[in-house]
Amino acid sequence: MQLDPASGWCHGVQVCPSPNFNERPAGEVSLLVIHNISLPPAQFATGKVQEFFQNRLDVTEHPYFAGIADLRVSAHFLIERDGKVTQFVSCLERAWHAGVSVFEGRETCNDFSVGIELEGTDDLPFTEAQYQALVVLTRHLQKAFPAITVERICGHSDIAPGRKTDPGPAFDWARYRAALAQEEGQ
């Protein structure tokens, strides 16, 4: 995996372009937001997240889909349970992942953040492969966008408290941060 800072696209990952993005107002990338998603909820490797981010989800396939039928959302990346990384939006563009959000008093986090979705739920442990891929991807993002310091990595629940709960209590922040610190020291 290699992130091209000039294009904002990662080489060596699957690319699945989403139409759900627009231009960043200032071009700044200084925050990383960790999410979780599974479609249908708690079902994995269905391909439905990719369809959802591309506005191709067949809402008749599952009752849950009717409630999200009108949403137009995306993230920059999805890390599946097996560690496979898919990119939907260039890191230089604004993906629609955070919604109404605030970080350190600054609203509209989509304007200046990269969003990574982990395939999962709030209460099911994430996989070793996901943590490994997340650490590698984070390091590439930090190299391309030095303003994304460890202090500027957060969960969706941190920037939209009361509205969002992901990545949830099953996400091991201590493990992730320790792995980043170890990588940094090498």
Size (the chain), residues: 186
Q: Is 93 part of the annotated catalytic residue set?
A: no
pLDDT of residue 182: 87
Task: Please tell me which residue in 104, 117, 119, 183 is annotated as part of the active site.
Answer: 117
Rounded-to-integer distance, Cα 186 and Cα 181, Å:
9
Return the bridge partners of 154, or none.
33
pTM for the predicted model, two decimal places: 0.96
The architecture (CATH level 2) of 2-180 comes to 3-Layer(aba) Sandwich (3.40)
Tens of pLDDT along 50-73? 999 999 999 999 999 999 999 999
Contacts from 53-57 at CB under 8 Å and sequence distance 24+? 53/16, 53/18, 53/20, 53/78, 53/88, 54/16, 54/17, 54/18, 54/19, 54/88, 55/18, 55/19, 55/20
Q: Which residues of the chain have pLDDT under 70?
A: 183-186
